[in-house]
Structure 1
Amino acid sequence: MMWTWFHRLASPPSFYALGQRLAPWLGALAAVLLGYGLFAGLWLAPPDYQQGDAFRIIYVHVPAAALSLSLYTGMAVAGVVALIWRIKLAECAIVALAPVGASFTALALVTGMLWGKPMWGTYWVWDARLTSELVLLFLYLGVIGLDSAFADRRAAARACALLAIVGAVNVPIVKYSVDWWNSLHQGSTILQFGKPNITPEMGWPLYASLLGAYLFAGYVAIRRLQNELLRRERRSTWVRELMAGRAVSPSAGAGRA
């Protein structure tokens, strides 16, 4: 039963229809949470007793850094599914997630550098966390480049899946680099189990921004995945029905996942 449900969801027309219903809700919730989180964090939260107003960059930096790891992990999982079961939706997911993850990784690096200047006195040091995050950006760009390098879409998908899986070894390195090596970057004091070292008036906007960023990433990923499915399935019956304005039958793409 579970496998049947999963296989049906993996069908391109079924996922496209689900995305049409789900994406607007994700976008609306993301707008509300990000609006509250950024407004409360940048204007209402009190200054940090050590860093002053410079700490406010966490309301952008922390969500971006968390998503850079989560999205790559999602790509690696999709890569495993694509290689083992050869499901087209998983192949499209890798391609759809890569630019989103690269954008959040670049944002995490830029905001980290801006935060590092008043804290460390320089924008960049070859710190373990910063360096491994930069490698993560190169991995994302590598997946994007591989996808463009092959004319055969299935061959491109296999190459991207392999790189995503192999590159996943860097995810725990980024996550635990501050614990494994001497690092200028502070350890996890905010998103930790137990009692976080942040006051509620600072913490709630951060958690709202974090959840809002995840919902926003989900919205963008769904829309990109829908576009990728339309591009690859443009000659299929369900896409022709969609373009003609008719309701898409979930069985139109059955057996072509």
Structure 2
Amino acid sequence: MNPVVRWFHQLGSPPYFDRFAARWAPWCHLVALLLFGFGAWQGLFVVPADYQQGDSFRIFFIHVPAAMMSLAVFALMAVYAAIALVWRIKLCEILAMACAPIGAAFTLITLVTGSIWGKPMWGTWWDWDPRLTTELILLFLYLGVMGLYGAIDDRRAAARAAGFLAIVGVVLLPVIKYSVVWWNSLHQGQTISLLGQSKIDPSMVLPFWVMFAGVQFWFAGSLLARARADNLRREAGKDWVAKLAGHAGPEQQS
């Protein structure tokens, strides 16, 4: 068997995933903090003030990475949910449900920082702008996935129901992305491009991508930590969990 394929098969084992997550989650968070520190220093003290927005533009280094992750995490959640529904892979159910609260946090950060940024630029904390409104709907979708998962006692049935909602909700993502193109919008158009030329000052490019890498590592660490906790709850009573807790399991005690 191909080593990569074998590794993925091993990762689907609850004990193996627990060891993997326990080992790498702290490292992901550490790398994220280092990247945040460097990116924040660059964004706050090295990049010059914007010629139109002054220093208020610096919230860009938090707002835009969070906004990009709010969409990316939902898409990833839907992918995990689809795999779980088709192939009944329990780990994918766990990972999909672990994505929801993290993605909701990124979406909330996007909305809050957008309002803070919008106040001096637009003269108001909130406007029913297409981009803002669709991003708010995305937050409600995240909360709906979380609520549906928590409302059903059977964890696997709950994950399948919530996962189906996540898959259906994917149709909102292109609407959010292209809302500034399809409708008249106060929100500025796309300024960051993964493949083409970004429409920002060159001095902003490095700190932006550093901050974006930081939120990705933070997401990875948080995903592993949350998935590990859910995995342990689901496997409670198994011998390997009992050994991890430092005492004998039910089978050994009998």
Tell me, yes or no, whether TM beats 0.5: yes
User: What is the match of residue 75 of structure 1?
Assistant: 77
| 1:199 corresponds to which of 195, 198, 201 | 201
Partners of 1:228 and 1:47 in 2: how far apart? 44
CA RMSD of aligned residues (A): 1.6
Q: Decide which of 210, 229, 233 is 1:208's aligned counterpart.
A: 210
What is the CA deviation profile of residues 59-114 of structure 1, one whole-angstrom value per residue up to 9, with x for unaligned ones? 11011101101111111001101111111111111221111111110000011111
Structure 2 counterparts to residues 149-228 of structure 1, below 5 A: 149-228=151-230
Residue equivalent to 1:30: 32
> Equivalent pairs: percent with the same residue?
52
Could you tell me how far apart the structure 1 residues matched to 2:132 and 2:44 are? Answer: 24
Of 233, 236, 244, which aligns to 1:234? 236
Aligned-pair CA distance for 1:180: 1.9
Deviation at residue 194 of structure 1 after TM alignment = 2.5
Q: Which moved more, 1:236-245 or 1:54-63?
A: 236-245
Q: Write out the 4+ residue segments of structure 1 that deviate beyond 6 Å after TM superposition.
A: none
Contact 1:94 1:160 in 2 (8 A): no
Alpha-carbon deviations, 1:13-44, whole Å to 9, x = none?
11111112222221121111111111211222
Q: 2-side partners of 1:119 and 1:152: how far apart?
A: 48
Residue 192 of structure 1 deviates from its aligned partner by 4.8
Unaligned runs of 5+ in 2: 249-254
Do structure 1's residue 105 and structure 2's residue 107 form an aligned pair? yes
SS of match in other structure, 1:190: coil
Listed as ranges, the gaps of 5+ residues in structure 1 are 247-257
The amino acid that maps onto 2:24 is L
Question: Residues of 2 paired with 1:72 and 1:166: CA distance?
Answer: 11
Partner of 1:145: 147
**1:32-71 map, 5 Å:** 32-71=34-73
Q: Distance in 1 between matches of 2:43 and 2:102?
A: 24
Once residues 220 and 33 of structure 2 are traced to their aligned partners in structure 1, the CA distance between those partners, rounded to angstroms, is: 12
SS of the aligned residue for 1:51 comes to coil
Partner deviation per Cα, 1:160-190 (whole Å, 9 max, x = no partner) = 1111100111111111211222211111112
Aligned partner of 1:121 in structure 2 is 123
Aligned to 2:251: none
Counterpart-to-counterpart distance in 2, 1:4 and 1:203: 39
Higher RCO, Cα 8 Å, sep 6+: 1
- Alignment-derived partner of residue 255 in structure 1: none
> Which stretch shifts more, 106-115 or 7-16?
7-16
Deviations along 1:116-165, one digit per CA (max 9) or x if unpaired, are 11111111111111111001000000011111111111111111111110
Aligned-partner residue type, residue 154 of structure 1: R
Q: Distance in 2 between matches of 1:234 and 1:192?
A: 43
Shift of 1:56: 0.4
- Conserved? CA contact 1:57–1:111, under 8 Å: yes
Residue equivalent to 1:92? 94
- Aligned partner letter, 1:38: A
Q: Which residue of 1 aligns with 2:22?
A: 20
Q: Does the residue aligned with 1:117 lie in a helix, a strand or coil?
A: helix
Post-superposition offset of 1:245? 8.0
